[in-house]
Amino acid sequence: AALGLYFPRKEYLENVYIDEPAGMPLLRIHALKDSHEEVAHFHLCQNLIISRARSHENNWFQIREKTGLLYLSKSLEREDFNMLSVGNGMPLSKVMLYVFLSSHPFQEKECDSATRTTVFLSLINATAPACSSLTARQLCFTEMDLSFHIKENKPPGTFHQLQLPSVHHLCQNLSISYKLLAAEGVPFRYNENTTSVRVTQRLDREERERYELIAKCTVREGFREMQVEVPFLVNVLDEDDSPPFLPNGTDTADAVVEFNRKEGTVLSTLTVYDADTTPIYPLESSRRKYTGAIITDDPWISETFRVEHIFDEIHFSPNGSQVRGTRHEY
C-alpha cells in the first residue's frame, strides 16, 4: 500500500551544546495521517552527515519511535565536537540527520523509505547559555520559520508543539506560555496543556490555500514579563480532486473558415478552467494532462487545421481568499 503518513515540515533545526546531559530532549517531530487507522512510527538512520562527502556513526541522538521526540542518548563532549567538526577550529559545526516515517514498527536497516524529513543540528562548541541570558525570542521559538504544509482532504491531527523541549527542560524556574492568535472559525486549535497545535478538520485547497496565524509567547520571571509574536503559516497542498470546468458550460466551438485565410489565423477559441492544479513544470506534463482535438473524418481538415494549447495561472476568489488555478485556451 502507498505510504500515506507524511511530515508537515521538510526540515527541522536545533542547537546542541557541549556537555548537555544524556536524556536531554531536543525537539519533537510530528507526522500527519492519510487515513484514520494509520499509526506513526519514527526512526533515525544511524549516520550523521557532517558535510556532503562525510558521514559518521550516530552515537549521540535517538528518537522515540511512537512520539517523535528527538533526544540526546549520550552527552556530546569536547572530543566528540572536535571529531564531528573535522577539527576545523570553528565554534559551530552543522550535522544532518534523517528521520524516517512508517505506519508499522521499523525493521532493521529500513532506511530507504521515501518518507523522510531532515534535521539540521548546529553543534556549538560551548556549554548551554544560562536561561537568564536568553532573549524572549530564544526562549520561545527556534530559528526555524513556523511554516507548515498540510495536505487537503486528510484526517485531522496534531502537527506542531510550540513549547521547546530543551528550554522547558533547562529553564524550569521560568514560566513560558503560548497563545495562537487566529481569525474566528479557522480550522486550527491550540491546546494549552500540551502546547500542541492541531488541524481540526479536513482542509479544501479550492476553498483556501493559505492560513496566516500568529503564535504569541509570554515569558514571566518573577515580576518581569516579556512577550514575542511570530507568524504561523499553514499552506494547503493540492490533491487533484476537482474536475475542470467550462466558464459558459459549452465544451465545443464552431469555426467558420473563409477563403484566403493566412496560415496561423485563429478561427475559434475554447476556454477551460481548472481550479485544482496550477501549471506544473516541466510544462509538457501540464500539456499531456489536457488534450484538444478536432473531431472530423476528413483527412484534409486534419492536415490543414490544428489545435494550439496555451495555459497560464489565474486566481479564483472563493470566500474572499485567493486560490491559484489554471486557464487553458484552445
Show pLDDT as tens, one digit a residue, over the chain (330 residues): 345 899 999 899 999 999 999 999 999 999 999 888 889 999 987 788 887 667 888 899 999 999 999 999 999 998 888 888 866 667 788 889 999 988 888 776 666 666 889 999 999 989 999 998 999 999 999 988 999 999 999 999 999 999 999 999 989 889 999 999 998 889 999 999 999 999 999 999 888 999 999 999 999 988 889 999 999 999 998 887 788 888 877 777 888 888 888 888 888 888 888 887 666 656 676 667 777 778 889 999 888 888 888 888 888 887 777 888 888 888
Looking at residue 313, its pLDDT comes to 85
Looking at residue 1, its pLDDT comes to 39
Looking at residue 87, its pLDDT comes to 60
Please report where in the chains the cell 487566529 appears, as a residue.
182
Looking at residue 161, its pLDDT comes to 96
Looking at residue 108, its pLDDT comes to 62
pTM: 0.84
Looking at residue 280, its pLDDT comes to 62
Give the domains, in start order, of the chain with CATH numbers: 1-128 (2.60.40.60), 130-239 (2.60.40.60), 240-329 (no CATH)
